[in-house]
Amino acid sequence: DTAVSQTPKYLVTQMGNDKSIKCEQNLGHDTMYWYKQDSKKFLKIMFSYNNKELIINETVPNRFSPKSPDKAHLNLHINSLELGDSAVYFCASSRGHQSEQYFGPGTRLTVT
Amino acid sequence: AQSVSQHNHHVILSEAASLELGCNYSYGGTVNLFWYVQYPGQHLQLLLKYFSGDPLVKGIKGFEAEFIKSKFSFNLRKPSVQWSDTAEYFCAVNGINNAGKSTFGDGTTLTVKP
């Protein structure tokens, strides 16, 4: 009965590969987010979707492409992975875009 | 544009000491304010939030925060910390008219020594 789940939890891959991270929430929320947390714990928003529509797209390389097949899912696809993409990626959801956010467990991506 | 500043990057306390973590924001309008906690190796969890009403809000685990509008501040407090409070603490602001974008501070690492 996990509220926000992400898969995989760990992802180790080589430079140049393409990978995806999946996120699902069972809270009935209409807004979902992707955040990147670097090694210094800084948390930066990448994308936000509301009812499957993109509403926030921060300055993120276009190698990153989110996809929201429905309100409960927000996946993140990353093309041509680079060393600098190594980080922990958190998915989150909220009821509306001004309420508190519920975070997933994170996906630790390591690019070698 | 909105921004959040957390003044303390790393705070080290002994158990039973009192805690106050500073948070100041910049936004020219009404805001919702949040404190989140991230325990080692875990995801962020909500500690407390302020939307409106009483500026002194109480959260889980004995934490509280006070919204001082004139100072654009939302400091987090706890009268007596425990070893289990060791974690990363994030202040976040969400401007009401800012299209749903929450901005997080850079975080404060709290280490509580037993």
| Nearest-CA distance B10 → chain A (Å) | 12
- Judge whether B59 lies within some domain: yes
DSSP letter assigned to residue A80: S
Tell me which residues of chain A have a C-beta less than 8 Å from any C-beta of chain B.
31, 40-45, 48, 50, 55-56, 90, 92, 96-106
Domain A4-111's class? mainly beta
Return all residues near B90 (Cβ < 8 A) that are at least 6 apart: A43, B6, B35, B36, B37, B38, B44, B104, B105, B107, B108
Q: Which domain holds residue B75?
A: 1-81
Instruction: Identify all chain A residues contacting B74, using CB atoms and an 8 Å cutoff.
Output: none
Per-residue pLDDT tens digits for B12-25? 999 999 999 999 99
- Taking the domains of chain A in order of start, what are their residue ranges? 4-111
CB contact under 8 A, B100 and A98: yes
- Judge whether B99 lies within some domain: no
| Nearest-CA distance A45 → chain B (Å) | 8
Per-residue pLDDT tens digits for A12-64? 999 999 999 999 999 999 999 999 999 888 999 999 998 888 888 787 899 99
